[in-house]
A and B are shown apart, each in its own frame.
Chain A
Amino acid sequence: MILKLSIPGRLITFLLTIIVLLWFVYPYAWMTLSSFKDNREIYNPLTLFPNRFDFRYLIDIFSGKYIDLKSALLSSFLISGTQAIGSVLISASTGFILARYRFPCKQLVFLLSISLIILPRQALSIPIFEWMTFLSLNGGYSSVILPGFASGIGILFFMQVFKNLPQEYLDMARVEGASGYRIFITFLPMVLPAIATYGVIHFILAWHDHLIPLLLLDDSKRTLPLALATLYDPSQRVPQAIVMGASTLMVLPVAFLFGLFYRQFKSAISEVLVH
C-alpha cells in the first residue's frame, strides 16, 4: 500500500517518521527507561536501555523515601479533577447562553470572558494569595481549586461548540416547551466529545500548574510539580533515577487520560475549528 504513494510521498513519510520518533518520542522513552539506571548510565544519554533493570529506585519512590508520592498524586488528582469538572460545567453553561440567547449586558459578559484570557491567573497570583489569606482558605485545597473554575478559553470553546449545534434541535426542544436551563441539560449529552475534550485540556493545564499551588498550599498538600521541584538537587544527593522515575509518574496519568479520550479530542477540535 505504501508503494501506491508517489516517490516524494514515500521519502517524506520515511524521513518524517524518523524525525517524529527521535524528536517527539525519544525523550520520553529515555526518561522512562532512566528510572532503572544508575547515575553513570544516565549521564551518558546515548545509552537508551539500562544494563540491568534496577527496580530499587521505583521501590524507593513508592515507599516515600524521598518524596511523599502518594499524597502528591492524590493532591494533584483532587485539584485537577475538581477543577476540570467545575470548569466544564461553568464554561459550558456560559458558552451556551452566549451562543444561543440574548440577554441584557451580553456584550459585557463576552468582554469579561475575554479579559479572563488576557490576564492569566499567574499574573494575579499575589492578590489571589492575599485574598485567600483574607478568606482564611490559605493552605487548603479549595484555595487552588476555586480560582480555577472560571476559564476564558473554556467559554470561547463552548461558544463555538454550541454555535455549531443545528438550530433544528433547539427549535424542537422549544416547541416541546422546554426553556433555557432545561434545554441546556438536555443537550449536554449531545456535546459529550466537546465536554471530554475541554475537560482533558483543563485537567492537563491544572496538573501542570506550578505557581499558584506553590504559593497557596501547605507543604503537606504538595502537588506533583512541587514535589518534583524539591527533588532537584544540584549537590547530587538524590539519585537521578529517582527524579526520572518521579517525572515519568507525573506524565503517566495525563498521557493515559489523553489516550483514553483521544478520539473525542480529535473530533471535537475539528468541529470547533471548522467554524
Chain B
Amino acid sequence: MKPDAHLPRLSPLSGILLLGPFLLCFALFWLMPLIWGLDLSFRTNGLYGPGDFIGLENYRFILEDPLYKKAIQNTAIYTICSIGIIIPLGFLLAHLIRQSFTKLQPILTFCILLPGLTPPAVLSILFLLFFHGDQGILNRMLIMPFGMEPINWIHDPQFIMGSLIFQSVWRWTGFIAFFFLCGMDALPKAYTEAAKIEGSGPLRTLFQVTLPLVKHIIIFALVFLFVDAFSMFSGAYSLLGGSGGPGNAGLLLVTHVYHTAFVKGNFGDSSAIVFTIAPVLFLIIYWIIIKPPIKFSNYRD
C-alpha cells in the first residue's frame, strides 16, 4: 500500500467506534475458532470433548488416508476446471452482449445474472432431473438420438465431477460476465478506437487491447471463484448426501471435513485436515492478490 502520510490521523474515539466492532467480531468469531481448531487438531477425541494432547499424531494419520488424497484431487480438478471454463466464457459472453442490440442489453444482462441467485442445493436437484439416467433431457436430446447408450450422469463416477463442474459453470458464468461487462463499459473508447484506426481486426482488438485492460477484473474473478470452489459443500451434499458418492468421485474437501467430523465422529482429525489446507490456500491467494509478479494495473498509478 502506498504510504499514507497525506491521510488524516484517526482520533481514538472514532477509532473505537469504527474499528471496534470489526475487531470484536474478528477476534470472537474468526480468531477464537481458528485457535480452538488448531488446538483441537492436536488432541484426541475424548468422551465429552477434546481429549489429550497428542501432538502431530492426527496429522500423520490423515495424510495417509487415501480419502484425503482423493478429496484434494477432486477439489483441485473441480477448482481448476470451473475457473478455466468460467473466466474465458464470461469474458466472451460480455463481449458478445456488448456487440448486440443496445436496447436489449439490459434485459440480457439481467438474465445472465439469474443463475447466481440459485442456491446450490436447488441447483443440484434441478440438474438431477436434467441429468437423469434414462429420462433426463441431456440424454434424451443429445445422446440417444445419436444411438449411443444413455450416460448415467449422477451415478457414473466419471461424470459426477462433470456434473459438479457443470453446475458451477451454470451458476457463475453470467455473474463473471456481468463484472466484465461493467469493466468494459467503463473503459475509455479511445483505446479501441485507436486500435481500429491502426487497422486492428475485431478479434485482435479483443485479445490485445480489451483483455489486458480488464486484468484487474480477472484477478477479482480468480479469487472469488477460487474461494467459492474450495468451500463448495451445498451442491455436493444435496446430490450425494454427506459422502463422496460412488467411487468417492464426488468427494470434495469440505465434504471430507464434514464426513470425518460428523459421520466418523472424529473432530481432531477433521480440524487437522483444515489446517493442512489453510497454509496452501493462504499462499495461493497471497500470490494472486498481494504479490502479483506481473504489473496488473495499467492505468491507475
- B18 is contacted by which of A10, A96, A149 (Cβ under 8 Å)? A96
Partner of A273, one of B40, B137, B217: B217
Least CB distance from B258 to A in Å reads 7
- Give a binary string over A163-199; 1 marks a CB under 8 Å from any B CB, 0 the rest: 0000000000010000111001000000000000000
- Indicate if the CB atoms of A112 and B26 lie closer than 8 Å: yes
Residues of B within 8 A of A28 (CB): 114
- Residues on the A chain within 8 Å of B34, using CB: 119, 124, 127
B122 touches A102 (CB 8 A): no
Least Cβ–Cβ distance between B113 and chain A, in angstroms: 7
Which single member of B14, B32, B119 contacts A181 (CB below 8 Å)?
B14
Instruction: Select one of A13, A125, A150 contacting B101, CB under 8 A.
Output: A13
A260 — which chain B residues lie within 8 A by C-beta?
none
Kindly list chain A residues whose C-beta atoms are within 8 Å of the C-beta of B267. Answer: 126, 130
Cβ < 8 Å to A, chain B residues 95-117: 96-97, 99-101, 103-104, 108-117
> Which residues of chain A from 141 to 168 have a CB within 8 Å of any chain B CB?
146-147, 149-150, 153, 155
Give the distance in Å from the alpha carbon of A240 to the alpha carbon of B117 in the complex.
21
For B108, give its contact among A17, A42, A229 (CB under 8 Å).
Answer: A17
Once the chains are docked, how many angstroms separate the CA of A275 from the CA of B23? 27
Q: Which residue of A lies closest to B110 (CB)?
A: A262
Q: Are B119 and A127 interface neighbours, CB within 8 A?
A: no
Q: A179-B14, A250-B119 are in contact. Are A127 and B36 (CB under 8 A)?
A: yes
Residues of B within 8 A of A127 (CB): 33-34, 36-37, 40, 271
Closest chain A residue to B14 by CB distance?
A180
With A97-B10, A110-B1, A275-B300 known to touch, is A16 a contact of B96 (CB < 8 Å)?
yes
A32 to B11, CA, bound (A): 54
The chain B residue sitting closest to A265, CB to CB, is: B113
Number of chain A residues close to chain B: CB under 8 A: 98
Known: A102-B8, A130-B36. A93 touches B113 (CB 8 A): no
Alpha-carbon separation in the docked complex, A250 to B120 (Å): 11
- A59-74: CB near B (< 8 Å → 1, else 0) gives 0000000000000000
Checking B103, B129, B216, B230 against A275 with a beta-carbon cut-off of 8 angstroms, the contacting residue is B216
Q: Determine whether the beta carbon of A180 is less than 8 Å from that of B274.
A: no
Name B1-27 residues within 8 Å CB distance of A.
1, 4-5, 7-11, 13-15, 17-19, 21-23, 25-26
Chain B interface size, as a band, is 35 or more
Main secondary structure of the interface of A (DSSP, over half): helix
A103:B104 contact, CB within 8 angstroms:
no
A5-44 vs B: 1/0 string, CB under 8 Å? 1001110110011001101110110010000000000111
Which listed residue, B17, B114, B179, B182, touches A25 by the CB 8 Å rule?
A: B114
Report whether A117 and B223 are in contact in the complex, using a CB–CB cutoff of 8 Å.
Answer: yes
List chain A residues, Cβ under 8 A from B125: 228, 232, 243, 247
CB A117 to nearest CB in B, in angstroms, measures 6
Q: Is the interface of B mostly helix, strand, loop or mixed?
A: helix
Say whether B87 faces chain A, with CB atoms less than 8 Å apart. no
The number of residue pairs between A and B whose CB atoms lie closer than 8 Å in the complex comes to 282
Q: Is the CB of B13 within 8 A of A131?
A: no
User: In the complex, what's the smallest C-beta–C-beta distance from A65 to chain B, in angstroms?
Assistant: 19
Tell me if B63 is interfacial: C-beta within 8 Å of chain A: no
Query: A103-B10, A118-B281, A270-B182 given as contacts; is B19 within 8 A of A247 (CB)?
Result: no
In the bound assembly, the distance between CA atoms of A44 and B130 in angstroms comes to 9
Enumerate chain A residues within 8 angstroms of B165, measured Cβ to Cβ.
none
Q: Contact check: which of B21, B103, B261, B290 meets A126 at CB < 8 Å?
A: B261
A→B interface (CB under 8 Å): 1-2, 5, 8-10, 12-13, 16-17, 20-21, 23-25, 27-28, 31, 42-46, 89-91, 93-94, 96-97, 100-103, 106-107, 109-110, 112, 114-131, 134, 146-147, 149-150, 153, 155, 174, 179-181, 184, 204, 207-211, 214-215, 224-225, 228-229, 232, 240, 243, 247, 250-251, 254-255, 258-259, 262, 266, 269-270, 273-275
Interface residues of B (CB under 8 A from A): 1, 4-5, 7-11, 13-15, 17-19, 21-23, 25-26, 28-30, 32-34, 36-37, 40, 49-50, 96-97, 99-101, 103-104, 108-122, 125-126, 129-130, 132, 135-137, 140-141, 170, 174, 178-179, 182-183, 185-186, 216-217, 223-224, 227, 230-231, 233-234, 237-238, 254, 257-258, 261-262, 267, 270-271, 274, 277-278, 281-282, 285-286, 289-290, 297, 300
22 A–B pairs (Cβ distance < 8 Å), ordered by A: A12-B96, A13-B99, A46-B141, A91-B22, A102-B7, A118-B281, A118-B282, A120-B231, A123-B278, A126-B267, A128-B29, A149-B25, A150-B26, A153-B224, A179-B11, A184-B18, A208-B120, A209-B234, A210-B234, A210-B238, A270-B186, A274-B183
